Chains A and B, each alone.
Chain A
Amino acid sequence: MTAHRIMPRTRFLFVLAAGAAVVLAACGGAGESGTAGDARSGRLTIGVAFETLQTEFWVAAWNALQARAAERQITLLEAVSDGDPAKQLDQVRTFLTRRADGIILVPKDGKTVIPMIKAANAAGVPIVLLNRPADATDAAHTVVAPDNATITRDTVAYLIQQARRSNPRVKAAILVGDLSDVNAVGRRDGFEAAVADAGGSVDVVARIPTDWNQEKALAGLQTALQAHPDIGLIFSSSDFMFPSVKSVLSAAGRWKKAGEPGHVVLGGFDGDATAWRLMVDGYVDATGVQDVFFEVDAALRAILDATQGRIPPPRIADPGFVLTQANRASLEARTWGAIVAKQGQ
C-alpha cells in the first residue's frame, strides 16, 4: 500500500541530492582555479567593518573612507555589524575568505576585537583598528586613534586663556565621560594637565560624571551651577552633550555669546555638526577635533605599506587640532562636523 506512495518521494529526494552533488562538483572545480577577480586585476581590495553607522561621526568616517579609496583605486568590501561582535567576527572571516588585502575595523570594544585580529594574523592579512584601540594583546595590528589627552590639553589651555581675559581666577567645571572608555579617560587627563599647567589660576569646582548620558549631564551641571553660580568655564568631554549645557545655562540666564557680558567660556571634544553650528553662532569658544580625514588616510596608508612589505607602526596618533573662533574659517574644510552641517542644510 504505502510502498508505491513513498517511491516517488524517495526518487525526488534522490534527484535533488544528485543535482546538489553536480552543482557542488562544478563549484569545487571552479573553486580551485577561480580566485577573487579583484586580486587578478591588480586592484587592492580592503575589507571595512564598522560596528555602527548610527552617529554622524561614523558616517563621516565611512564617507571619507569611500572617497579616499575611490581616489586610490581601491575596492572596498563593506560591512556593518550593528553592535554585534559575533556578527563582526563573521564579517572579518568573510573578508578573509574573499582574500581581502587588508582590513579596516571599527570594533565595538577592545576585547571582542582580539579574536578578529588573531584571525587576520593567522591569514597574514594586515588589520587596522580605526579610532578605537584593542586591549593589551600580542596579536599584531595597527591602531589609528586620536591623541585624546594632547588635543584636550591644548583645547582646555585655549579655553583657560579666553576665560582669564575677563577674570584672572577661573572657576571651571568638566563633564566627565564614561571612564570605562579610554577616550573619556584621555580627555579627563588632558583637562587636568591643562589645569595644572595654568598654575593656581584655575579652580575646578565640579567634576561631573555623565557615563555618556545626556540626562546625567543635565542634572549634574544644574547642581554644580547652583552651588557655584560664578562658574566661568565649562568643558564637555564630548560635543554631543552641548544640548544639556545649553539648557542649563539658558535656565540660569547664562547662555550668552562670546563677548557678551556673563558669557561662560565653553569647549568640547569631537568637532561634530552641533559644535560647529554653536561655534558659528558664537556660543562655543573652542573644540578639540578628531581629524577624520587624517585617520582614514593613515589607515589606508598603513595597509598599503603592509602590502608592500613595510611593517606599519602599532600605533598612529591622530594629532587632531583645536578649532577656535580665531582659526575657524581656515580649518573649516578639515572639520568633519562642518561638512556634515553643510550637508544637513
Chain B
Amino acid sequence: MTSDESWIARAKHRGPRTLADGSAFMLAVNVAAFAAFAIALPDFRSPANLATVLVSSLPLLLLATGQTFVLVSAGIDLSSPALVGLVSVCGGLVMSADVGWLANHPAAVPVGLLAMLATGTAAGAANGFCVARLQMPPFMVTLTTAMFAGGLAVWLVHAVAQTETLFNLPEVFLALGRHGWVDGPLAVGAAFVAHVILARSLVGRWLHALGYNARAAYLSGVPTSRVIVCAYALSGLFAALAAVLLTARLETASPSHGRPLLLDVIGAAVIGGTSLAGGRGSVLWTAWGVLFLAMLGNGLTLLNLSDFVITIIKGLVILTAALLDQWRRHWRTTSASVADTVIA
C-alpha cells in the first residue's frame, strides 16, 4: 500500500474524487459491508462462516490477480476462466488413477503440477504473442482462446477417457485443496508475490507505463512486446493455479471448472479500482474487490435470497464499479483542463 501511495499518481485535489479512488475507499467499502452484514446476520459473523467466505474466494482471487496484470496493460483476458478447464483436464490426464498417463506413479503429482502450470503459462503467452506481435485486439484474441481451450478440454477428455470428467486423483494432490490450511497460504502467497511484481518490479512499472500510454513507453525504450507477453503469461499462470485449487477441491478434473467465474473475475478487478482503460491497477485493490464480492455473495445467500436475485445484485455492483471507473477518468481529464491553470 505504501508503494501505491508513493507511486500511483493521485488527483491533486482532495474531496469526492479521491474518496472514490484507491485502497482507502475499498477498505471503507469492505468494512461497511462487513459491518452491515455482521449486524444484520448473526450467522454471517460466526468464525466458521467467515472462514468459508475467505476460503471460497481463493480461486477467484487467483484468477482476478492474473487479470489485473492484463487490465493494467490496457488489455483484457477473457480466456483465463476457460483456461482453468483446460489446465484441469491436463492435470487429470497426467494424474488420474483411472486413465492418467502416470497413473499411480510416484512422479504423477510433480509432473502433473508442472504440466498444469506449463499449460496455463503457455496458453497465456500465446495470447500475449497475438496481442503484442500480431497486433490483434485483446478482446478478439482471448475470446477465441477461450473457445479453443474450452473445446480442446472437452475433446481431450472424450478422446482419452470417453467421459466428461476425470476422477481418482492422487491423495497428495487432493491435499492441496483441503479446506483452509494448504490452499489459503498458497493462494494468498501467490497473490502477494503478484502484488510485489506489479507494484514494485521493473516489469510491473513498465506494465503501468505501457497501460497509460503504449507509444510513450515504446519511444522511451520499454520493451513493450515482451512486457505484454509477460502480462498475459502471468494471467495464464494464475489461471493454472486456480485450476490446481479447483481440481483438488472438487477431486475432479473437468473442462467446466472456472468457466462460471468470468464476470466475477473482471468484476472483482474493476470493483477494486483497476481501470478498464489501462495503467491504473493494483493486486491489492483487486484483493479488496474479491473480498467484497465474496462477502456480498455470502451475505445475500444468508438472507435466503434466490440465486437469480444474487446474480442480479452482483451484476449491478459490477456495473456501478465500471461506471465509477468511467467517472474517475472523466474527472481526471476535465479537472486537468482546469488544473492546467492552477498549477505551474
Contact = CB atoms under 8 A, between A and B. Distances in A.
B310 to A, nearest CB: 10
Q: Among B46, B251, B257, which residue has the most Cβ atoms of chain A within 10 A?
A: B46
B16 to A, nearest CB: 15
Interface stretch (A24-32, A151-159, A228-236): A24-32
A91 B59 CA distance: 15
A135 B98 CA distance: 13
B167 A111 contact: yes
A84 interface: yes
Interface in B173-209: 177, 179
A93 B34 CA distance: 19
A97 interface: yes
A103 to B, nearest CB: 14
A94 B195 CA distance: 30
A82 B298 contact: no
Contacts of B59: 86
Interface in A1-47: 6, 9, 12-13, 16, 19-20, 23, 26-28, 30-31, 34, 36-37
Contacts of B179: 93, 119
Nearest to B260: A84
Nearest to B308: A80
A4 to B, nearest CB: 13
Interface size class of B (residues with CB under 8 A): 35 or more
Interface in B243-301: 246, 249-252, 254, 256-258, 260, 298, 301
B34 A23 contact: yes
A89 B52 CA distance: 10
A152 B266 CA distance: 48
A90 B27 contact: no
B304 A78 contact: yes
Contacts of B302: 94, 98
Interface string B28-64: 1001001100100011011111011001100100000
Interface in A112-142: 112, 114-115, 119, 135
A77 interface: yes
A261 B149 CA distance: 53
B251 A31 contact: no
A87 B59 CA distance: 11
B45 A94 contact: no
B46 A31 contact: yes
Contacts of A12: 24
B260 A97 contact: no
A12 B42 CA distance: 28
A30 B45 contact: yes
Contact of B257 (A79, A86, A97, A135): A86
A112 B301 contact: no
A77 B46 contact: no
Nearest to A37: B42
A81 interface: yes
A310 B309 CA distance: 38
Nearest to B164: A180
A16 B27 contact: yes
Could you tell me the dominant secondary structure of chain B's interface residues?
helix
Nearest to A87: B260
A83 B307 contact: no
Interface residues on A, range: 35 or more
B24 A9 contact: yes
Interface string A316-344: 00000000000000000000000000000
A77 B301 CA distance: 9
A31 B45 contact: yes
Nearest to A35: B42
A81 B43 contact: no
A85 interface: yes
B3 interface: no
Given A77-B304, A84-B260, A89-B250, A98 B43 contact: yes
A189 to B, nearest CB: 19
A85 B250 contact: yes
A23 B254 contact: no
Given A30-B42, A85-B250, A86-B257, A80 B28 contact: no
A109 interface: yes
A109 B304 contact: no
Given A90-B52, A97-B49, A34 B42 contact: yes
Nearest to B55: A93
Which 4 A-B pairs rank lowest in CB-CB distance, beginning with the nearest? Answer: A27-B45, A90-B56, A97-B48, A80-B307
Interface of B: 5, 24, 27-28, 31, 34-35, 38, 42-43, 45-49, 51-52, 55-56, 59, 162-165, 167, 177, 179, 246, 249-252, 254, 256-258, 260, 298, 301-302, 304, 306-308
Interface of A: 6, 9, 12-13, 16, 19-20, 23, 26-28, 30-31, 34, 36-37, 77-87, 89-91, 93-94, 96-98, 109, 111-112, 114-115, 119, 135, 180
30 contacts: A9-B24, A13-B27, A16-B24, A19-B35, A23-B35, A23-B38, A26-B38, A30-B42, A31-B45, A31-B47, A80-B306, A82-B260, A85-B252, A85-B254, A85-B257, A86-B59, A89-B56, A93-B179, A94-B52, A94-B301, A94-B302, A97-B43, A97-B48, A98-B43, A111-B167, A111-B254, A115-B249, A115-B250, A180-B162, A180-B164
Given A85-B250, A97-B43, A98-B49, 6 more contacts: A23-B35, A31-B45, A97-B46, A111-B252, A112-B251, A112-B254
